[in-house]
Amino acid sequence: MSAAAPEPPESSIDAFHRGAFFLAQPAGRGHRAGLDAMILAAAVPSGFSGRLADLGAGAGAAGLAVASRCPHARVVLVERDPEMLDYARRSRALPGNAALRERTEVLDADVTLAGEARAAAGLADRAFDCAIMNPPFNAPADHTTSDELRKSAHVMPPETFEQWIRTAAAIVKPGGALALIARPGSLQPILAALAGRFGEARIVPVHPRAEEEAIRIVLRARKGSRGGLSLRPPLVLHEAEHIFTQRADAICNGKASLFGD
Amino acid sequence: MSAAAPEPPESSIDAFHRGAFFLAQPAGRGHRAGLDAMILAAAVPSGFSGRLADLGAGAGAAGLAVASRCPHARVVLVERDPEMLDYARRSRALPGNAALRERTEVLDADVTLAGEARAAAGLADRAFDCAIMNPPFNAPADHTTSDELRKSAHVMPPETFEQWIRTAAAIVKPGGALALIARPGSLQPILAALAGRFGEARIVPVHPRAEEEAIRIVLRARKGSRGGLSLRPPLVLHEAEHIFTQRADAICNGKASLFGD
């Protein structure tokens, strides 16, 4: 940002899926957050029908993107942060989202809750057909981690995935799905947390350019399946600086699903 | 193979790296075994200097490929199967491998040994700068696994990786490397076994064609490192049926390293 850039407004309203839905969100957030949410949403099959929980929904980007692309999805945006909850509610209330409002709700709940407390917060066992999650990279516990570990690994504390995936396994019906987006460095705690809960994990690495390391992984798995892990061809985002590949453009704009289903 | 094909001989002598070295091996083994070994060998940096253990070396394909490409590598082919040990010794003795013989030895030892028994077998702690491994897909314990699990997961018993990586961690010096090739379905037990032993894991998925699922992963990691996992761009083997991509051809023929170092 140049020194001459205007003071950023407190919040903004941004169009996604080429104007199919809108998001009220704090201004000054990077482009990446929206991109991650769009890619995560694309992991849900286009024909998905049923209840979907967007765990840690923030302003609702991923959940609304699923509702926008999948006309039979009923989406619950789950968030615990009061400010982000407010943005999620404002997003849902935007005039441009009127068509999605009936299939969307906002739930004030902490994803890391367990047992009766979780059910009491509105996340009942086996109440969903699918859960999606884009856990925050800088979870509160991160601040207690040593500088060296944070610098070298760029991962969340392993317990974050254990807690989030434990909740997903509880609230999803047998045979239901979990989709998540995360950094490649989190693969080990993710796979450890999936073990015994979700199988048939399919991973798509996301590379900024074909010749660069993956910056994200998208994973989809099925509750109770014994099926093994598979690695799909990568999603390459850019052909050149600021130019999306055709596939990335379709995926980020709600025109294609990531797993081709 | 057509019905008119001649009876296969009991063993064959095959050229690798375009005639740079040779392998005596049982005939009738699939093309894949050699290809896996060549790709694994390419995970070792070209400038590698020091002692390298090829754990479960079989006839010696991967270890000899390292010796062939890396002129300062001293390679120990570690094998426990009497028949394959004999092939490894015959491979080493082939006239076409005379240039590698001084930097190569064969060790009769079981990779799954631990503690004093392992050291007594010739695998002393911190005696190597690098270990490479292509663990058998059909380990003996596999036969006790339920049909359903074998069919669905296509993985070895998790304890195989725990045992093999435990040995690699013991015999490699601090800061030394481990490289392995395996099926994507084995990723979880591999990452679990690496934890606390090897860090800075770099993974290259290997896809038969650009649009198909990965059939292998190659992983290289550093002993004692706290560095996080990274996912490199994939290695795509074929452009069309039976036609290697330029990169795959260079890698399989000892002309390039997999990680570009």
So what's the ipTM on this one?
0.86
**CA nearest to B60, candidates B79, B74, B82, B39:** B79
Beta-carbon separation of A233 and B188 below 8 A: no
Q: Where are the alpha helices (DSSP H) in chain A?
A: 31-41, 61-69, 82-93, 98-101, 115-120, 147-153, 158-171, 187-194, 246-252
First and final C-alpha spacing in chain A: 39
User: Could you tell me the CA-to-CA distances from B17 to B35, B63, B146, B219 in Å, in that order?
Assistant: 11, 13, 40, 22
Question: Smallest CA–CA separation between B144 and chain A, in Å?
Answer: 17
pLDDT at A11: 86
Question: What is the CA B15 to chain-centroid distance, rounded?
Answer: 18
pLDDT at A148: 45
- Among chain B residues, the shortest Cα distance to A190 is held by B188
Architecture of domain B11-252: 3-Layer(aba) Sandwich (3.40)
All residue ranges of chain A with pLDDT < 70 are: 1-9, 28-33, 138-156, 158
**CA nearest to B248, candidates B237, B234, B232:** B237
Question: Closest to B233 (Cβ–Cβ): which among A148, A184, A211?
Answer: A211
A99 Cβ under 8 Å from any chain B Cβ: no
Question: Closest to A184 (Cβ–Cβ): which among B149, B188, B229?
Answer: B229
pLDDT at B149: 40
Question: Smallest CA–CA separation between B170 and chain A, in Å?
Answer: 22
Half-sphere exposure of A39 (CA within 13 A, CB side): 28
B155 Cβ under 8 Å from any chain A Cβ: yes
Task: Enter the pTM of the model.
Answer: 0.88
Task: Mutate one of A231, A232, A238, A247 to test the B interface: name it (highest B CB count within 10 A).
Answer: A231
* Residue written as token pair 């906002």: A106
Distance CA B205, CA B208 (A): 10
**CA nearest to A224, candidates A190, A250, A203, A201:** A201
Distance CA A65, CA A27 (A): 19
Distance CA A162, CA A189 (A): 7
Could you tell me the sign of the dihedral formed by the alpha carbons of B183, B185, B188, B189, in that order? negative
Residues 6+ apart with CB under 8 A from B138: B156
Residues B108/B110/B111/B117 CA torsion (nearest 10 deg): -100
Beta-carbon separation of B184 and A213 below 8 A: no
Residue A96 and residue A143 in contact, taking contact as beta carbons nearer than 8 Å: no
Beta-carbon separation of B234 and A233 below 8 A: yes
Tokens of B236: 């795509």
All residue ranges of chain B with pLDDT < 50 are: 1-3, 5, 7-8, 30-32, 139-155
Q: Where are the alpha helices (DSSP H) in B8-56?
A: 31-41
Strand blocks (E) in chain A: 11-16, 21-26, 49-55, 72-79, 104-108, 128-133, 172-182, 198-207, 216-223, 230-231, 235-236, 238-240, 243-244
A28 Cβ under 8 Å from any chain B Cβ: no
Question: Smallest CA–CA separation between B77 and chain A, in Å?
Answer: 30
Give the single-character DSSP code of A169.
H
Q: Is B155 helix (H, G, I), strand (E, B) or coil?
A: coil
Question: Closest to A149 (Cβ–Cβ): which among B188, B226, B233?
Answer: B226
For residue A233, list chain B residues with Cβ-Cβ distance below 8 A.
207, 210-213, 234
Beta-carbon separation of B211 and A233 below 8 A: yes
Question: Smallest CA–CA separation between B89 and chain A, in Å?
Answer: 37
Task: Mutate one of A154, A229, A238 to test the B interface: name it (highest B CB count within 10 A).
Answer: A229
